[in-house]
Amino acid sequence: MSERNYPAVVVDDRCEARLRAGHVWVYASDVKEMKEVPENGAICDVYSRRGRYLGSGFYNEASKIRVRIVSFNANDRFDAPFWERRVRYAIEYRRTVMANAADFLCCRLIFGEADQMPGLTVDRFGDVLVTETLSLGMEQRKDIIFPAIVQTLADMGVPVRALYERNNVAIRGLEGMEETVGFYHCAGLDANPTMTETEICENGIYYYVDFIGGQKTGFFLDQKYNRLAAAGIARDKQVLDCFTHTGSFALNAARGGAAHVDAVDISADAVQMTRRNIQRNGLSDKIDVICADVFAYLDELKETKQHKYDMIILDPPAFTKSTETVKHAYAGYREINRRAMQLLPRGGYLATASCSHFMPADLFCRMLREAAYDAHVTLRQIEARKQAPDHPILWTVPETDYLKFYMFQVV
């Protein structure tokens, strides 16, 4: 082992193989020896049983993920300049990969492990940033990282008015942290922000973003380009948008030339926000919003033999958030897709998605084949897509590859 000043954690051979392949998590069961017990949230070095350096990361005895790797470089020193460089690298990547300046205005600036900042999410909604911090190591360094984000954007000529922390998620308890929400204060930000929502423009469509009370950070940015793809199919069609949330697929379809769109969601708050967004974009004559359970609504359409849609979009919330519920989620995905396929006419179109990394692509495809078999239809694939590039995928970390989006014609 080297003479570095960080506490050393020794892991078993299976973990060594996983880390050498590029994964970034060390589980509690992987740890075989500790030369010195690190403080929770502190940096430690990870070694193999034979003394080979494997990486450095945040240690947390309270978490099942005992170490979250942040670097595989033994020469790194984890001071303020290190984190400032990492922030700048992440933001410059977004400015490069987003299709245009308008897309950079609303995008994910930091995506946790994919940006080697495990547990940290930062979404940009114009001049408002919304963060979610799920690892203790990131929480302890936010007073370096958050000002660095604000300064990096300022250096690019991008002003930031406010940064809001959305840390009201139970998973923080697994890291030994409390749930918190509120505006973060640092140089360059409004001293006393009072707003509760902001407005963005994505794909030429305006949305109100409730970053305080909405789901997650207030708006789902990962389907940005998938919405455009669906809009291209929707022209002149009668479209049903299921699980509409704030109406994003419905609005894209209507703006793309759909004859009419019905948008369905069980949440009254989501329906209210969808109606506001429809009115904001002047599309009230093109979209109707229905507050209903999607499963029940599709059943009602089948029972009343209302096969009136040429295109159905399924963008449900994650049916599974753990390996223990995958079987149940599989059945839910299969059922909702089967019902949609049965409602579509021959030649109709289906756009369907899953946002859970616990439902990998091969399993999702198997489910779709079974749903098509049950519905007595054949699927002709138009396109298979992933999340937008501001949510980058590390091939060595499967958990970053979570969104599946397929478009089919029913033949």
Residues acting as catalytic residues = 355
Tokens in use for 287?
Answer: 């979209």
3-class DSSP string for the chain: CCCCCCCEEEECHHHHHHHHCCCCEEEHHHEEEECCCCCCCCEEEEECCCCCEEEEEEECCCCCEEEEEEECCCCCCCCHHHHHHHHHHHHHHHHHHCCCHHHHHEEEEEEHHHHCCCCEEEEEECCEEEEEECCHHHHHCHHHHHHHHHHHHHHCCCCCCEEEEEECCHHHHHHCCCCEEEEECCCCCCCCCCCCCEEEEECCEEEEECCCCCCCCCCCCCCHHHHHHHHHHHCCCEEEEECCCCCHHHHHHHHCCCCEEEEEECCHHHHHHHHHHHHHCCCCCCEEEEECCHHHHHHHHHHCCCCCCCEEEECCCCCCCCHHHHHHHHHHHHHHHHHHHHHCCCCCEEEEEECCCCCCHHHHHHHHHHHHHHHCCCEEEEEEECCCCCCCCCCCCHHHCCCEEEEEEEC
Which residues partner with 180 through β-bridges? Answer: 167
- The span from the first CA to the last CA of the chain, in angstroms, equals 62
